[in-house]
A and B are shown apart, each in its own frame.
Chain A
Amino acid sequence: MTFVRPARRGVLAAATLTALLAAAACGGGGSSTPAASSAPAADLSKQGPTEYWAGKDTSGNLKNLIAEFNAQHPEGKITFHELPDNADLQRQQMIQNTQIKNPQMGVLSMDVVWTAEFAANQVVEAMPADQFPTEGFLPATVESGTYFNKLYGYPTSSDGGLLYYRKDLLDKAGLKPPTTWDEMKQACKTIQADSGNDKLECFAGQYQKYEGLTVNFAEAVDSAGGTIMGDDGKPAVNSPEAAKGLSFLVDSFKDGTIPKGAITWQEEQGRQAFQDGNLIFHRNWPYVYALASKTDGSSKIAGKFAVAPLPGLTGLGVSSLGGHNMAIAKNAENKGTAADFVKFMASEKVMKSNVIATSAAPTLTSLYSDADVTKKYPYMPILLKSIETAKPRPKAVKYGDVTLAIQDAAYGALQGQTAPDAALASLQTKLGTLTQ
């Protein structure tokens, strides 16, 4: 009978073992990378096959572009390495493949908020200014790819917030799109009193606790003249201006300007409400334009809406900057091919074809006035305005922690659990320890 006890223990151990597996699977990062503080300039000459790592190619245009590049570039060919749709999973795979020094990973499609983390942890290579000129690009997009005065991501696509509004309702009331929050609230009162529709809400953005909340919080703070982190990389969020920005959101939830349920909204829930005709004003990304214009019955407001720049406290507001930049992986074997592909993707001709196929906002100023682009996307001039004044989200090496700290503070305040001032004070302290 003695063999029974270990056997039983074995079963128990097996039953409980799985608890560890999740962490164990990620525990392979034991290799130590030596410090390379004075890195020599990267050698971007070696040609050969390499891979482009990016999320799903929903438009189907990418494979044409890669085929075109490979046809004119026989000395080194690009293969598309498709990553999951989820941005967090993309980031994780890129980091893990840096840790295992995957030489195949050549070009990365890098979200603008990853720049600091990827640059500091040497996931990506610094790009020499002589090979990657930044003239003609929107300054905000170049800024988003820059870390410690070095360019790490070549801007290929951008994104900015827009204020979608019900042109039919505003026209009926004889109003112009609002430039300040007060004007917006006033317009809502006029329209709501008139409409006789008690389902018609005033305004909403994205306030669920996720990256979208960071975007909307940053826009509120920036639009009130505040800032989350100063140019020196030190937090500066505990200011009267930032408090005014956060208070706008908090008060809007309290007085019903923003519907209560919006605390659980991401982009899609807000778009749905706007398309169903239940919102007068809506902050969202450009992708909504095509969907809300659909005349197949999915949108009740096709042809009844228009876009404007975001409103602010005393004048036009400031958008948070979105988009992806292209970067060369530090451990790539054939960096020459990788660099050539980045240049190819950022060329005006390729970017134009991509903009038309995917609606991704271009980073070259010239494309915003291109006749073909504006014909397909009439909102481009307004999007240009939005991106021209847009600010990147805080640049932090520990961006994941920073954005969670921001969400903690903002979500607590929006739910009415903490006062805006107290939330900002504790956020300031937390950001201080995170950016030491």
Chain B
Amino acid sequence: MATATAVGKSSTVAGDGHKHKKNALSDGQGRLAWMLLAPTLLVIIVVAGIPVLLSIRESFFQTNSGVDPNTGLVAGGESFVGLKNFTDIFAGANQVEGSYGTMDRFWNAFLNTTLFTVVCVLLETVLGVAMALIMSKAFKGRGVVRAGILVPWAIPTIVSALMWKLIFDEAGVMNRILHQQILWLADTGASFWAIVIADVWKTAPFIGLLTLAGLQTIPAECYEAAKVDGATAWQQFTRITLPMVRPTLVVAVLFRTLDTLRMFDLPYGMIGPGKYRVETLSIFAYQEATQNRYGPAAAYAIILFIYVLLVAFVFVKVLGADVIGDSAPPKKKKKKGAGDDDAKTSAVPSLEMMGGAH
């Protein structure tokens, strides 16, 4: 954040015509910066960079699994197969029966992943914003409500998976409340919704929390002015709250989307492996790896990686998600006066973007 603010300021200053040739970051301190960054970079290369490169290499190989008919032994080792692990996805050799009819296990998992993401993130956003609105109001017992809303987010996912497993048991609490016997933990359409409920319960607070931070930067004067003008509560929400909280909200939704695309522990812990109505790409890749098919597993993980990357790209380019807080379009910046750059905007720098919108 500190860097981001510095950048924002320097660009504003530059826009005013005071040319500063000296840049604080390139003023003979480059070497120091590298030295300070080196440990982090080293850790990232070792724990993330190298494994990713190895994964990409692995995705072009397949384990030899042929059994010698005389000894019953497997030759072992790996052979280079080029893009076969990727093209096999379209060969349809591994048909399964899921919610969308019979199709290749990969595409079934791909559709599950996408559908989970769309449904869960939509519901989480609506609920999360509602939670933020409640948390931002001043009322008695606000602290308790805030803490209460955040509890689900604090529980490790695998623990909440086991907890919801008990709730959704065929003789569990949920069926007793509904007075029905819904087989949530079998492999039915209900299993899908069980996951959605558990995921929304767990992660709506995350969106709520980030949105709350955004709400608190909206100056009270805006609402006062709206009241004077006779705006209704709904108008205030749609014309002031939503636009001003939008930059924060888009980032929150982006993080949730990327997270949900990688969903693993909830379906795996709650419904179990091999359930095609809730099997996500992460689960499928993991299952392949446990069957010692590291090549296809790596290929699926890479496809998921690219998919996640694409979605992130769309968010940044189309919706203008401002992950770092300094990518405000230059056009708007030019319009801004130096006076706008006050302490408030530095708390959530991306609010600058909204400066000229009203």
Contacts and interface: CB of A to CB of B under 8 A. Distances in A.
Interface of A: 1, 3-4, 7-8, 11-30, 32-39, 88, 92, 95, 116, 119-122, 147-148, 208-210, 260-261, 263-264, 269, 397-398, 400-401, 404, 407-408, 411-412, 415, 417-418
Nearest to A119: B72
B298 A24 contact: yes
A22 B285 contact: yes
Closest CB pairs A-B (n = 8): A24-B51, A261-B170, A32-B77, A23-B301, A148-B72, A33-B76, A26-B289, A35-B75
Nearest to B290: A92
A191 B141 CA distance: 57
B308 interface: yes
A225 to B, nearest CB: 28
Contacts of A148: 71-72
A27 B76 contact: no
Contact of B290 (A121, A400, A408): A400
Given A26-B297, A261-B181, 17 more contacts: A4-B7, A15-B258, A20-B55, A21-B52, A22-B289, A23-B285, A23-B286, A24-B54, A24-B301, A25-B51, A33-B76, A38-B71, A119-B73, A120-B74, A148-B71, A261-B183, A400-B290
Interface stretch (B58-66, B228-236, B341-349, B350-358): B58-66
B298 A147 contact: no
B33 to A, nearest CB: 11
Contacts of B301: 19-20, 22-24
Contacts of A408: 96-97, 274
Interface in B165-216: 169-171, 181, 183-188
Interface of B: 7, 11, 25, 44, 48, 51-52, 54-55, 57-58, 61, 63, 65, 67-68, 70-78, 96-97, 169-171, 181, 183-188, 255, 258, 261-262, 264, 272, 274-275, 282, 285-286, 289-292, 294, 297-298, 300-302, 304-305, 308-309, 312-313, 316, 323-324, 326-327
Nearest to A15: B258
Which secondary structure dominates where chain A touches chain B? helix
B14 to A, nearest CB: 9
Contact of A19 (B61, B183, B290, B305): B305
A21 B77 CA distance: 23
Given A24-B51, A29-B78, A260-B181, A16 B258 contact: yes
Given A34-B77, A400-B290, A22 B67 contact: no
Given A4-B326, A261-B181, A17 B262 contact: no
A19 B304 contact: yes
Nearest to A23: B301
Contact of B327 (A8, A398, A404): A8
B109 to A, nearest CB: 13
Contacts of A13: 309
Contacts of B58: 23, 27, 30
A227 B50 CA distance: 48
Contacts of B68: 37
Contacts of A261: 170-171, 181, 183
6 contacts: A4-B326, A15-B258, A23-B301, A35-B75, A39-B71, A264-B183
Contacts of A16: 258, 305, 308-309, 312
B65 A210 contact: no
Contacts of A210: 272, 274
B76 A20 contact: no
Contacts of A400: 290-291
A397 B48 contact: no
Contacts of B264: 22
A259 B274 CA distance: 23
Which secondary structure dominates where chain B touches chain A? mixed
A3 B61 CA distance: 37
B76 A122 contact: yes
Nearest to B44: A14
Contacts of B181: 260-261
Contacts of A415: 186-188
Contact of A20 (B51, B61, B183, B188): B51
Contacts of A121: 74, 76, 292
Nearest to B304: A19
Contacts of A17: 48, 52, 305
Nearest to B56: A20
Contacts of A122: 73-74, 76
Contacts of A260: 170, 181, 183
A18 B262 contact: yes
B302 A20 contact: yes
Contacts of A25: 51
A121 B292 CA distance: 11
Contacts of B286: 22-23
A213 B44 CA distance: 43
A209 B68 CA distance: 32
Given A19-B304, A20-B302, A4 B327 contact: yes
A27 B77 contact: no
Contact of B275 (A28, A32, A209, A269): A209
Contacts of B57: 30
Contacts of B72: 116, 119-120, 147-148, 397
A1 B7 contact: yes
Nearest to B76: A33
B74 A27 contact: no
Contacts of B294: 23, 26-27, 29
A33 B77 contact: yes
Nearest to A13: B309
Max chain B Cβ within 10 angstroms of own Cβ: one of A119, A121, A400, A415: A121
A401 to B, nearest CB: 6
A37 B66 CA distance: 12
Given A20-B301, A24-B51, A412 B272 contact: no
Nearest to A276: B171
Nearest to B78: A32
Contact of A1 (B11, B73, B185, B316): B11
Nearest to A116: B72
Given A4-B7, A400-B291, A208 B185 contact: yes
Nearest to B61: A30
A401 B291 contact: yes
Max chain B Cβ within 10 angstroms of own Cβ: one of A19, A20, A401: A19
A398 B186 contact: no
A20 B52 contact: yes
A260 B68 CA distance: 44
B308 A11 contact: no
A264 B169 CA distance: 8
A27 B51 contact: yes
